[in-house]
Amino acid sequence: MDLPPLSALRVFEAASRQLSFTRAAESLGMTQAAVSYQIKLLEERLGGQLFLRKPKGLELTALGTRLAGPTSEAFDLLREAYSGRTGLAETLTISALTTMAGNWLSFRLGRFQMAQPELAVRLETDDRLVDFARQDVDVAIRFGTGPWEGLVAQKLFDAELTPMLSPALLEREGPITTAKDVIDLTWLNNEDSAWDGWLKAAGEPEMSCVHTRRFTMDSQLHLGRAALAGDGVALLDPRFFRMELASGSLIQPFDLRWRCGGAYWLVYPHARRNRPAIKAFQRFMMAEVEAEDTTLAAAAVRATPTGATAAPANIAAPVKAPSSRHQR
């Protein structure tokens, strides 16, 4: 006789172990009706009843008792085989955008590794969309508006952009006291529509692209390095350049941050939502974002003069669709 469907055996194993269709359904992420249906299919396949439905709960029949032990042992072997406890550490492979990986995630992953010593962590940088069916990637951090079909998408934080430049450029080209003063500077990624968004939010006319000052880079990480070198003023997300701003190697002349309409998301396939390593990483990421938000809010309060009331962050809503450049 051929093996019954694995889905039915899986339901039978859970129900026989817990002697409850309700608890079996909860543990498997199914409805009670679906559990009952799978048991019915199995009973018809075997030609006998597996459970007695009694007022106080389920009870295994003689046939159910005979099959429950071997079925549970078989699933225990499968759980052991797929649990990662083979003497080799389970690996969590994370794909992140260039800037997100280099300026935010990389110096946080050590804390996650220490909290999960049994887990090996591998970080890859890639600005392309991830094909989870073809690539050896467990979770990804991507930019967009979400959600995406077939994926769990946990929003991390919104993307916010504001001009930044080096002290040397400020000394050479300054002072910069109004948004209009930015227009005459050398813009890095000057063809990015985000410049129009920030200028319009600051009350200045849209400039579109300025062809005579073309200087294009494909990530905020590279833009930030060019700004540090004094090559021009760049639109950057302050969250990714906190250390440079704190040390004074980059200057943010304006509080105004333009929210471009996109956000950074942790994404992974629905089928992996119950994997312990992914659940632990998601909890870790949300805790890191919450802690950073608290720190940024506290810094804003400390920067408020004595006797004044701290104002909410000066954030402008998007006026255009998010650009594909400032996501990276």
Domain match, 118 and 267 both: yes
Domain match, 21 and 151 both: no
Domain match, 139 and 208 both: no
Share of the chain above pLDDT 90, in %: 50
Is the confidence at residue 305, as pLDDT, over 60?
no
Domain that holds residue 72: 6-82
Q: Higher model confidence: residue 203 or residue 88?
A: 203
Q: Higher model confidence: residue 166 or residue 130?
A: 166
Domain match, 187 and 207 both: yes
Q: Higher model confidence: residue 46 or residue 307?
A: 46
Predicted local distance difference test score (pLDDT) of residue 88: 57
Q: Higher model confidence: residue 257 or residue 327?
A: 257
Predicted local distance difference test score (pLDDT) of residue 327: 52
pLDDT tens digits along 200-240: 999 887 765 555 556 678 789 999 999 999 998 999 999 99
pLDDT tens digits along 252-280: 999 999 998 899 999 999 888 888 999 99
Predicted local distance difference test score (pLDDT) of residue 210: 55
For the chain, the domain total comes to: 3
Domain match, 224 and 109 both: no
Domain match, 182 and 273 both: no
CB 120 within 8 A of CB 281: no
Q: Higher model confidence: residue 319 or residue 119?
A: 119
Domain match, 167 and 246 both: yes
pTM confidence score: 0.69
Mean pLDDT for all residues in the chain: 84
pLDDT tens digits along 117-158: 989 999 999 888 888 877 889 999 999 998 888 899 999 999
Q: Higher model confidence: residue 287 or residue 4?
A: 287
- Specify if 193 maps to a domain: yes
Is the confidence at residue 60, as pLDDT, over 90?
yes
